[in-house]
């Protein structure tokens, strides 16, 4: 199934895409697409619905495909060519950092460049939503804890990330720096998550064009590894790294300044389209 959330920010309703591409209202069946509603039994119940019998929704803003996200766990430098373009060594173990859930926005909402930003960058990534609690799990069992897959853009302000004396988190957690969706695609619809094409365009110029085949650490390895350090809970998001082609890897580097259109997509998981806007500084 392709599951999504539509409506004004903070007032989204759960929906599904039917066989004709229409949006069907799930609010009479499930309160939201979050937490325990992503468990296998809950998703199996949704899969049995006659979607065409449910109310049709008119086209509207698409919100983040998962609501009430507890935490976003990100994996850095998980594509060999991306590590090389960043001038950093190939990691021996997954690089793990957290991104604030307050950064989450809809897949087509504007990207807000922070007022003090100098180097706002992009990173298209495959994300997974956790469906069942996972702690100290094996690689063989890892994918059974996944509810579905979606497109994620791990936007990054590199000057905050590298030049301001702190950890990566503050360069990754600005408002709108985690567009999520458009859909959460359930695992039964993705034949092989390690064979998906990813791409990202800026103003119709392709910067990123890669495949999950070239990940250093597979999804199963990542989920198992992370579960040894923190409990993964239903509705948590794991972003699994980006292929080469980010702005800081260009010669010379290219960063978002405002006014651009960003288009990011993954094979079978849909596309995001965002307009880049400058965030105005706070006033007294």
For the chain, domains (ranges, CATH) are 2-57 (no CATH), 72-278 (3.90.850.10)
CA distances 184 to 72, 127, 193, 241, 252, Å, are: 15, 9, 13, 18, 36
Q: What is the pLDDT of residue 283?
A: 65
| Enclosing H/E stretch for 221 | helix 219-227
Q: What is the pLDDT of residue 91?
A: 93
Q: Give the pLDDT confidence of 197-227 residue by residue, as tens digits.
A: 999 999 999 999 999 999 999 999 999 999 9
Rounded CA separation 149/129 (Å): 6
Average pLDDT of span 157-172: 87
Q: Looking at 75-89, 222-236, 244-258, 261-275, which range is the least confident one? A: 75-89
- Residue 282 above 80 pLDDT? no
Q: What is the pLDDT of residue 128?
A: 98
Which DSSP symbol is given to 280? Answer: P
Taking all residues of the chain, what is their mean pLDDT, rounded to a whole number? 95
Q: Report pTM.
A: 0.96
The sign of the CA dihedral 155, 130, 194, 218 is positive
For the chain, counts of helices (H) and of strands (E): 6, 19
Phi, psi torsion values for 41, nearest 5 degrees: -65, -35
For residue 96, what are the β-bridge partners?
75
Q: Looking at 74-88, 135-149, 236-250, which range is the least confident one? A: 74-88
CA distances 276 to 74, 239, 261, Å, are: 23, 22, 6
- Residue 168 above 90 pLDDT? no
- Residue 7 above 70 pLDDT? yes
Band (pLDDT 50/70/90 cuts) for residue 235 is very high
Interior angle at CA 204, CA 198 and CA 205, nearest 5: 70
């Amino acid at each position: 199934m392709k599951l999504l959330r539509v409506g004004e920010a903070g007032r989204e309703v759960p929906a599904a895409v039917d066989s004709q591409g229409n949006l069907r209202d799930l609010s009479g069946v499930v309160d939201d697409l979050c937490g325990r509603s992503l468990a296998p039994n809950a998703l199996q119940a949704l899969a049995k619905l006659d979607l065409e019998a449910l109310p049709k929704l008119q086209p509207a803003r698409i919100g983040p495909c998962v609501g009430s996200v507890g935490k976003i766990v990100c994996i850095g430098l998980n594509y060999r060519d991306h590590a090389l373009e960043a001038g950093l060594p190939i990691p021996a173990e997954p690089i793990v950092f957290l991104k604030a859930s307050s950064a989450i926005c809809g897949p087509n909402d504007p990207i807000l460049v922070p007022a003090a930003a100098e180097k706002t960058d992009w990173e298209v990534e495959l994300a997974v939503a956790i469906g069942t609690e996972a702690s100290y799990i094996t690689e063989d069992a890892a994918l059974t804890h996944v509810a579905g897959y979606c497109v994620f853009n791990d936007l990054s302000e590199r000057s905050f990330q590298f030049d301001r004396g702190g950890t990566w988190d503050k360069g990754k957690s600005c408002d709108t720096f985690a567009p999520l969706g458009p859909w959460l695609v359930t695992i039964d619809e993705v034949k092989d998550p390690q064979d998906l094409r990813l791409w990202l365009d800026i103003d119709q110029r392709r910067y990123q064009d890669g495949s999950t085949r070239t990940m250093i650490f597979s999804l199963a390895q990542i989920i198992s590894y992370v579960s040894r350090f923190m409990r993964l809970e239903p509705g948590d998001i794991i972003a699994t790294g980006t292929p080469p082609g980010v702005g800081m890897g260009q010669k010379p580097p290219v960063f978002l300044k405002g006014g651009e259109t960003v288009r990011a997509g993954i094979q079978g998981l849909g596309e995001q389209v965002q307009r880049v806007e400058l965030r105005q500084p706070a006033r007294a």
